[in-house]
């Protein structure tokens, strides 16, 4: 009997992944990862309204434990707090300091879930590892999930190619409603549990207040990109991303403004007014540190510049320094620091970090 170590997060997706594997005849072992110290800047500590509450991470562990007990499989717990800080959170802060928009979930998959987790699974004698990601593996290639609304290949494209050799994605062939239905039919405690959203280590907390614990605010001017007039003050460039409309607090005729440009050198946030998005469109970009998942090097394919964005038709030029130059008709709010993932049909070719936008 082949042994599979499943990453059990305390959510419905990983719960159903474990259930399906057990029904398929595998020897299944659950492994819960503790990646963040919830006591750090924890709103639950010293808050009289929440003093009897349990932090979300411990709730997740308790749910994971309940699921494994229900499935009659063992659950192990591993602590990656230091490693997560070193490889994911430090990267997150460094990118913000550069005025860029980081994607910690991509780095978490690369360094934690498909590296450290794999090593821990091997200690438990794993023949395979499995997660609750919406993705598929076919002929050694990473393939989009059946449920395109939940497809997570974008977040997996930075994982080293060889790491997928013994990986199973049990729910990649299913749509989300069916996953929940299976959980309900099998009376799993996570069946109706809300999906986690946002950045995992921030959770439901206020993003600005959280960051103030690590990076000093550097207020500066907000300038209208057309009139060059000062229209307000920002609280720090790290709190804004290209295309953002909420949280600008400009008032007056600038109330429909959006972030058009960040000038890190002069600490200026440029905004544009109205519904016209012309300052957000670009026609080319440079992608650095690209991680190839296949041997294909197509001259044309599609890409995603953000997780929820539609595929963009692109022409690809492979530069001598290893960067990729992408040409396209136009794309909106392509942002340095964000992740770019390339596709050939349903096959994920890999991904890299947006370096420059033109």
User: Is 132 found in the same domain as 12?
Assistant: yes
Tell me whether residue 341 is one of the annotated catalytic residues: no
Q: Tell me the CA end-to-end span of the chain in Å, nearest whole number.
A: 54
Q: CB 24: neighbour CB atoms within 10 A? A: 12
Indicate which residue of 68, 108, 303, 340 is catalytic. 108
CATH number at residue 131: 3.40.50.620
Q: Which of 29-43, 187-201, 208-222, 268-282 has the lowest mean pLDDT?
A: 29-43
User: What pLDDT score does 48 carry?
Assistant: 45
Mean pLDDT, residues 125-151: 97
- Where is the domain boundary, 276, 297, 314? 276
Rg, the chain, Cα only: 22
Give the Cα separation of 60 and 270 in Å (integer). Answer: 41
Mean pLDDT, residues 72-96: 95
pLDDT tens digits for 283-332? 999 999 999 999 999 999 999 999 989 999 999 999 999 999 999 998 99
Q: How many residues does the chain have?
A: 358
130, 21 Cβ separation under 8 angstroms: yes
CATH number at residue 240: 2.30.30.280
Establish if 206 belongs to a structural domain: no
User: Is 220 found in the same domain as 109?
Assistant: no
User: What pLDDT score does 195 carry?
Assistant: 87
Domain with 78, as residue range(s), is 3-185
User: What pLDDT score does 251 carry?
Assistant: 65
User: Is 246 found in the same domain as 322?
Assistant: no
Residues paired with 141 in a beta bridge: 138
User: What pLDDT score does 69 carry?
Assistant: 98
Establish if 310 belongs to a structural domain: yes
Q: Coil, strand, or helix at residue 111?
A: helix
Residue 204 — pLDDT band, cuts 50, 70, 90? low
CA 18: distance to chain centroid? Answer: 22
Which residues lie below 8 Å from residue 314, measured CB to CB, with a gap of 6+? 300, 301, 302, 303, 326, 327, 328, 342
pLDDT tens digits for 7-61? 999 999 999 999 999 999 999 999 999 998 766 655 444 444 444 445 677 889 9
269, 259 Cβ separation under 8 angstroms: yes
- Where is the domain boundary, 276, 294, 315? 276
User: What pLDDT score does 317 carry?
Assistant: 98
pLDDT tens digits for 222-275? 999 999 999 999 999 999 999 998 888 786 656 688 999 999 999 999 999 877
Residues paired with 222 in a beta bridge: 232, 269
Which residues lie below 8 Å from residue 195, measured CB to CB, with a gap of 6+? 11, 12
User: Is 322 found in the same domain as 248?
Assistant: no
Q: Coil, strand, or helix at residue 260?
A: strand
Closest CA to 307 of 158, 155, 139: 155
Establish if 152 belongs to a structural domain: yes
Q: What is the DSSP letter of 159?
A: S
Indicate which residue of 55, 68, 200, 303 is catalytic. 200
Give the Cα separation of 84 and 62 in Å (integer). Answer: 21
Establish if 263 belongs to a structural domain: yes
Tell me whether residue 108 is one of the annotated catalytic residues: yes
* Count of structural domains within the chain: 3
Residue 212 — pLDDT band, cuts 50, 70, 90? confident
113, 33 Cβ separation under 8 angstroms: yes
Q: Token match 């405690």: residue?
A: 189
Mean pLDDT, residues 204-211: 77
288, 323 Cβ separation under 8 angstroms: yes
Closest CA to 174 of 147, 200, 202, 194: 147
* Percentage with pLDDT > 70 across the chain: 91
CATH number at residue 298: 2.40.30.10
């Amino acid at each position: 009997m082949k042994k599979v170590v499943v990453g059990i997060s305390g959510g419905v997706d990983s719960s159903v992944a474990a259930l399906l594997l057990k029904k398929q005849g595998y020897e299944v072992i659950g492994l819960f990862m503790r990646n963040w110290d919830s006591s750090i800047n924890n709103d639950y500590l010293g808050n009289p309204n929440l003093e009897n509450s349990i932090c979300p991470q411990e709730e997740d562990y308790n749910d994971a434990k309940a699921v494994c007990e229900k499935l009659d499989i063992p659950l192990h717990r591993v602590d990656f707090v230091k490693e997560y800080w070193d490889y994911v959170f430090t990267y997150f802060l460094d990118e913000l300091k550069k005025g860029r928009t980081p994607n910690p979930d991509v780095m978490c998959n690369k360094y934690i879930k498909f590296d450290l987790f794999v090593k821990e699974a091997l200690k438990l004698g794993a023949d395979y590892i499995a997660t609750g990601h919406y993705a598929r593996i076919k002929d050694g290639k990473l393939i989009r999930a059946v449920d395109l609304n939940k497809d997570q290949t974008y977040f997996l494209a930075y994982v080293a190619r060889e790491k997928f050799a013994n990986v199973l994605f049990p729910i990649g062939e299913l749509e989300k409603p069916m996953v929940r239905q299976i959980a309900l039919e099998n009376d799993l405690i996570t069946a109706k549990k809300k999906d986690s959203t946002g950045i995992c280590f921030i959770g439901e907390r206020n993003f600005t207040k959280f960051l103030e614990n690590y990076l000093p605010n550097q207020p500066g001017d907000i300038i209208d990109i057309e009139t060059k007039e000062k229209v307000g003050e920002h609280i720090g460039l790290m709190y804004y991303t290209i295309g953002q409309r909420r949280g600008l607090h400009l008032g007056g005729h600038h109330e429909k403004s959006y972030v058009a440009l960040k000038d890190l050198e002069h600490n200026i946030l440029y905004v544009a007014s109205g519904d016209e998005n012309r300052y957000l469109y670009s026609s080319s970009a440079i992608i650095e540190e690209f991680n190839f998942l296949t041997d294909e090097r197509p001259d044309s394919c599609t890409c995603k510049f953000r997780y929820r964005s539609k595929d963009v038709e692109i022409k690809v030029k492979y530069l001598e320094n290893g960067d990729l130059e992408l040409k396209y008709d136009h794309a909106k709010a392509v942002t340095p620091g964000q992740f770019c993932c390339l596709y050939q049909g349903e096959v994920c070719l890999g991904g890299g970090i947006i370096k420059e936008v033109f």
